[in-house]
Structure 1
């Protein structure tokens, strides 16, 4: 029992490392070439706050608890309905933000998914027991080596690549997706090496400046940062803010700096989306960053500050209201792959659960995806089931069985100037279709057609996308659950619409979608 206990503790530590969802030997080089030569142009700082929601900001301002958010809003632009990527999981969303494409372009389908090439489930760190069963070594390699090095499309430039080509400097602090043009080294501590096949040093590509917890700490010889085991190895807000403060005060800000603040997500998963304590902490941290310029007013004179969330959260019902949809129990006699099990010729179904969303892979060639979908709709807590057949995408409404199908290109135009052919029951995806002028507006499922298409074309395989109704979450045998707390992953408004605050410029984004922000940021950086 003691050995098992130690292994679980180790899994938790590695999970913290990977999910932030060793000291670098190149720190001097980072600091030498980080400073921008951009003259009087304003720097751009993007701060992504994991699971930040507009309802929390609004409530906190009403209660006069968020003075920094209030200042930034009063001196800038505030949008409450920025559309996230899908599934609404951090690695996929960050990939969308930094590449300007949905998963069909950047090829990172979710926090967990099944690779037909490798014939295994890819897991970047979903939960301690699931990581333990999938294998610590496998999760560590996929999270630290393959995510940025192989899974993120090599054909697609990140914003860091684009800025390097334009002769501009960039930096990332704790960003999960960081691939860029320059060589860096992740230093792996001995205690992790002893439980994995990871080398002492891992060569990666990143922006000019890369701070990635204690694995890549360019300021190790300058600051005493909170990057020990008790501080989640640097994957915390305090570390991220202190690194950004140093760059500001030392006059070493790059043209573009991306800062990932992870702490809020953990609080909301535990306490639910109505908890304000984490947002108040973020407000204080933002204030300290603005003060690093000398004052908040001076900060907006010298930089464009952008604050955004990546996904919202749905309140998960308490345990006594049966919120957990045990997906593995819904397939009758089919052989569902157990976490950590090797795929065999007997395997019928593989599950990759991303909280309130899941990929369901069908390996049994004697059954069709529609057949599996029709079996799932009898579960009243399931919301939407979707799959792809040739150029068409089919979506079925849980319980009612109402169906819709659509494909790209057609006579119908949505608010993002995307064209579609849509047939059958529009109610399934809550589409408002004006047949007279052939327009589509989205209701409960923002940008649903493109986001579903993005997920279903994100990787090879014969699979369904399944989402849960509000208050419920999907689960496999070892999936982490959040009864009475918060969850995300699905395509509904509550989990898909996030706040965006832009201060220091009057230039407005064309569309309010995370997928469009890369183009907007490049305009800010190149057309000032």
Structure 2
């Protein structure tokens, strides 16, 4: 089943399945030099760090599985390490944007990847990294492939920020990425496209990219080809699956080739939760067995934590979408009635009033006719009781209107109110709109239903150029347009509520604790972890 938050990886797979009818060509791949780059430079070595990102892993599911004695590996890690249940994700809660935040240590206002789909005012087109087959066909295979494979890491991810891979290279350390959506680094790599992709498209057979010392991207970049067998065929989603990623890590462990930092992306759980809802447990059990296989490659679970820091984390949570008979879709084009709406794949034009970039339970709403049109759009959206809130920015303020009510809030950075992250704010209006807990006596504010909402919402509203609103759906509903995927009776994410924003973080193999439980702050924790290990081993 197609759904939004599997993103780029599943896009490539569906394109192959569509295009294979057109060609049966194969191609040989250039031999990558990744393993040679991982060769030790000698001397004492820091403890390795393996960061396993499990798409849509949720703490509630972990706790249920441990109570039912169905997750022995996760139970071992939580009992022999640190277990946090409230790591605050980025916003929108879509993997491509979250991963950009994790690996750069910046919110979208700085890294400039606003979501899985967004509108580029510069290029006058909707950027879609792969939400579903209908949108791919409507927007064009070439356009989606170019954005997903080439432009995301090389152009859209801002050059004004550095990834952890780039930072580690500067520090003389080695890093790797196993199927990560965001992988930009300092080393040269070649992605090799099968004939059935590059022949019917305009993409070249080989694409040169920058990545970490070690890079896998399914069958498009497999530096272990000829060394070990990996599940990377058409039925294996071209290697974009958990088994592929786990087998790569196991090979690196057993051959003593682990880089200092290894990022590992496991996508399979997300697919099952989108289809069956956030309470489904089958996918989590399979992932637990795969994690055990990874730990056992060190010789035992205990040995794994002696030799490496093992981190297992989620990226976003998920809320249940109502079944089809309860009509959970908020059809944005239908809501706007007679307004002229830009169709997917259509170039932006002043002749069109409105266009949408739907990120499942969140959407960007753009006006090509400026501020007046946006005000009308905001009023229309606010009147719908299924809408959670509508937000937009003016010169120095963020404005938020609660769906189905007349309640409004505006705020700006700076002022006398301090939040738990040492950020200061000035508020006007009804704090209940964003469920803010304001203590006027102590001049503090705290968050509940919308974690770190003031910074995360402001960041998304300044993440790219143009005039636009942010709209989110209430729990149980999802936003749709003419071709976006639907998840009736399943699960969805994208919004900023805590069910979709708070994810688990499990850290084994070190007593050092992160100072802040936000995804945006983890890069600095990881760099500090590696740097202190270097110092403790006498490496300057």
Same fold by TM-score, threshold 0.5 exceeded? yes
Between the aligned partners of 2:259 and 2:44, the Cα distance in structure 1 is: 11
Cα distance change of structure 1 residues 72 and 387 upon mapping to structure 2, 3 Å threshold: same
Is 1:13 matched up with 2:18?
no
Which residue of 388, 392, 404 maps to 2:393?
388
User: Aligned residue for 2:69?
Assistant: 64
Q: State the 1:346 CA deviation.
A: 1.1
Q: Assess if the C-alpha contact under 8 Å between 2:353 and 2:373 holds in 1.
A: no
Q: State the 1:516 CA deviation.
A: 0.3
Is 1:446 matched up with 2:448?
no
Q: State the 1:16 CA deviation.
A: 8.9
- The farther-off stretch of 106-115 and 337-346 is 337-346
Between the aligned partners of 2:17 and 2:399, the Cα distance in structure 1 is: 37
Between the aligned partners of 1:152 and 1:387, the Cα distance in structure 2 is: 23
Q: Assess if the C-alpha contact under 8 Å between 2:16 and 2:197 holds in 1.
A: no
Q: Deviations over 1:463-511 (max 9, x none)?
A: 0000000000000010101000000000001000000000000100011
Q: State the 1:23 CA deviation.
A: 6.6
Is 1:434 matched up with 2:435?
no
Which residue of 498, 506, 510 maps to 1:505?
510
Give the 5 Å matches for 1:75-474.
Answer: 75-365=80-370, 367-474=372-479
Q: State the 1:380 CA deviation.
A: 1.2
Gaps of 5+ in 1: 1-8
3-state DSSP class of the match of 1:527?
A: helix
Which residue of 43, 46, 55 maps to 2:48?
43
Q: State the 1:127 CA deviation.
A: 0.9
Q: State the 1:176 CA deviation.
A: 0.4
Q: State the 1:437 CA deviation.
A: 1.1
Cα distance change of structure 1 residues 324 and 153 upon mapping to structure 2, 3 Å threshold: same
Q: Deviations over 1:237-268 (max 9, x none)?
A: 00000000000000000000000000000000
User: Aligned residue for 2:35?
Assistant: 31
Q: State the 1:292 CA deviation.
A: 0.5
When normalised by structure 1's length, the TM-score is 0.96
Q: State the 1:10 CA deviation.
A: 9.5
Cα distance change of structure 1 residues 298 and 23 upon mapping to structure 2, 3 Å threshold: farther
- The farther-off stretch of 155-164 and 333-342 is 333-342
**RMSD over equivalenced CA pairs, Å:** 1.5
Q: Assess if the C-alpha contact under 8 Å between 2:397 and 2:410 holds in 1.
A: yes
Between the aligned partners of 1:203 and 1:268, the Cα distance in structure 2 is: 34
Q: Assess if the C-alpha contact under 8 Å between 1:43 and 1:302 holds in 2.
A: yes
3-state DSSP class of the match of 2:372?
A: coil
Q: Deviations over 1:41-62 (max 9, x none)?
A: 2100000000000011000000
3-state DSSP class of the match of 1:104?
A: helix
User: Aligned residue for 1:6?
Assistant: none
Between the aligned partners of 1:221 and 1:485, the Cα distance in structure 2 is: 40
When normalised by structure 2's length, the TM-score is 0.93
Q: State the 1:36 CA deviation.
A: 4.5
Cα distance change of structure 1 residues 35 and 281 upon mapping to structure 2, 3 Å threshold: farther
Between the aligned partners of 2:16 and 2:130, the Cα distance in structure 1 is: 5
Between the aligned partners of 2:87 and 2:16, the Cα distance in structure 1 is: 29
Between the aligned partners of 1:61 and 1:132, the Cα distance in structure 2 is: 43
Between the aligned partners of 1:234 and 1:23, the Cα distance in structure 2 is: 17
3-state DSSP class of the match of 2:144?
A: helix
Cα distance change of structure 1 residues 332 and 13 upon mapping to structure 2, 3 Å threshold: closer
3-state DSSP class of the match of 1:518?
A: helix
Q: Assess if the C-alpha contact under 8 Å between 2:11 and 2:129 holds in 1.
A: no
Between the aligned partners of 1:77 and 1:455, the Cα distance in structure 2 is: 31
Q: State the 1:15 CA deviation.
A: 8.2
Gaps of 5+ in 2: 1-9, 19-26, 534-540
